[in-house]
């Protein structure tokens, strides 16, 4: 039994890791902040340079913490490193690359609302790819949520879909959501390694992929030389995206799932668009339009309907 003085002597980080719901609020808050941070440097920093800096920085940041786990998991890692690195290539590099490119031509509010559809996209993909059974009510919920995304992407005019008149930035954000859905589905094949080992190897895959993307589509690897002259705002954004949405969110969410279980932790993902939209309005000064509220309400209704159907099925 833990003595009272032992509890008092524990560090702040240890006590924090015993607060599941606080961690399940902080994780989506940091993920939502990723959109706001990326939007802050649009026009000041190439999106692929932002991506590469984040992925390389996050890899270097996590390696010292993951080293002992990497040594323990090395027999598994040696056999499965291509798969482990591909998780980072798709789930971290491709997702964030498409997101950052999308943010150059769409608002952070739009991007946040569109990411709110991720649970529904994952549910639909599970049904299509793995034939995971879905109830009629869940299917209706998915269709309703997708309608909300379409309303956001067409800026409140669904008729624009017929003429393919959709903002290209919103299109990139939706592609980013599809990439993350593919990553999530593939996690069922994740090798049995510690979370820190998984993150270190996956981040390494993301770093390599981001460097290739920077060379092919961005300003080239030589653009790293411009970072020392970057503004304090750019450096603040770089530090934030390297550490908070990359590492802390992953650790906090994993620990929250460990303490309360996946079913009770999963709804916390719905807070990502909430924090993203609030940050966009408060920090960036973006103005919410009526279609934003309508789309958010439609997506929330779809999620609630699908969640209710899932709980009834259990």
Token pair for 234: 């750019």
pLDDT of residue 9: 46
Residue 238 CB contacts under 8 Å (≥ 6 apart), including other chains: 50, 53, 54, 57, 227, 230
pLDDT of residue 267: 66
Q: Is the pLDDT of residue 166 over 50?
A: yes
- Domain contains 73: no
Q: Is the pLDDT of residue 6 over 50?
A: no
- Domain contains 141: yes
- Domain contains 113: yes
Q: Is the pLDDT of residue 109 over 50?
A: yes
Cα separation, 277 vs 32, whole angstroms: 8
- Domain contains 48: no
- Domain contains 139: yes
- Domain contains 140: yes
pLDDT bin (cut points 50, 70, 90) of residue 131 is: confident
Closest CA to 192 of 310, 73, 312, 22: 73
Q: In the chain, how many domains are there?
A: 1
Q: What letter would DSSP give residue 167?
A: -
Q: Is the pLDDT of residue 292 over 60?
A: yes
Of the candidate ranges 81-90, 187-196, 230-239, 304-313, the one whose mean pLDDT is the lowest = 304-313
Residue for token pair 């690359």: 97
pLDDT digits (tens, 9 = 90+) for 27-37: 889 998 999 99
Token pair for 236: 């603040």
Q: 137 lies in which domain range?
A: 108-166+284-314
pTM (global) more than 0.75: yes
Q: Is the pLDDT of residue 113 over 60?
A: yes
- Domain contains 158: yes
- Domain contains 14: no
DSSP assignment of 185-220: HHGGG--S--HHHHHHHHHHHHHHHHHHHHHHHSS-
Q: Is the pLDDT of residue 146 over 90?
A: no
């Amino acid at each position: 039994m833990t003595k009272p003085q032992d509890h008092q002597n524990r560090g702040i980080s240890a006590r924090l890791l015993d607060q599941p719901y606080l961690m399940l609020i902080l994780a989506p808050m940091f993920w939502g902040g990723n959109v706001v941070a990326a939007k802050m440097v649009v026009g000041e920093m190439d999106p692929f340079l932002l991506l590469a800096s984040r992925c390389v920085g996050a890899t270097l940041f996590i390696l010292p913490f993951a080293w002992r786990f990497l040594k323990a998991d090395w027999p598994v890692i040696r056999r499965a490193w291509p798969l482990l690195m591909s998780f980072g290539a798709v789930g971290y590099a491709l997702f964030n690359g498409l997101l950052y490119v999308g943010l150059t031509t769409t608002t952070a509010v739009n991007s946040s609302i569109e990411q709110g559809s991720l649970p529904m996209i994952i549910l639909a993909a599970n049904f299509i790819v793995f034939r995971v059974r879905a109830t009629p009510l869940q299917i209706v919920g998915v269709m309703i949520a997708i309608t909300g995304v379409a309303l956001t992407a067409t800026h409140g005019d669904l008729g624009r879909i017929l003429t393919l008149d959709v903002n290209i930035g919103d299109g990139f954000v939706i592609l980013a959501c599809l990439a993350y859905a593919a990553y999530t589905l593939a996690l069922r094949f994740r090798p049995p390694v510690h979370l820190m080992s998984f993150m270190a190897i996956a981040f390494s895959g993301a770093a390599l992929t981001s460097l290739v993307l920077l060379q092919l589509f961005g300003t080239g690897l030589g653009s790293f030389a411009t970072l020392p002259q970057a503004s304090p705002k750019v450096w603040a954004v770089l530090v934030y995206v390297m550490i908070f949405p990359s590492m802390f969110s992953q650790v906090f969410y994993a620990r929250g799932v460990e303490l309360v279980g996946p079913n009770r932790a999963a709804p916390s993902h719905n807070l990502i668009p909430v924090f993203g939209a609030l940050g966009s309005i408060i920090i960036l000064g973006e103005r919410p339009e009526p279609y934003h509220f309508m789309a958010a309400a439609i997506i929330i209704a779809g999620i609630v309907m699908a969640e209710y159907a899932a709980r009834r099925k259990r």
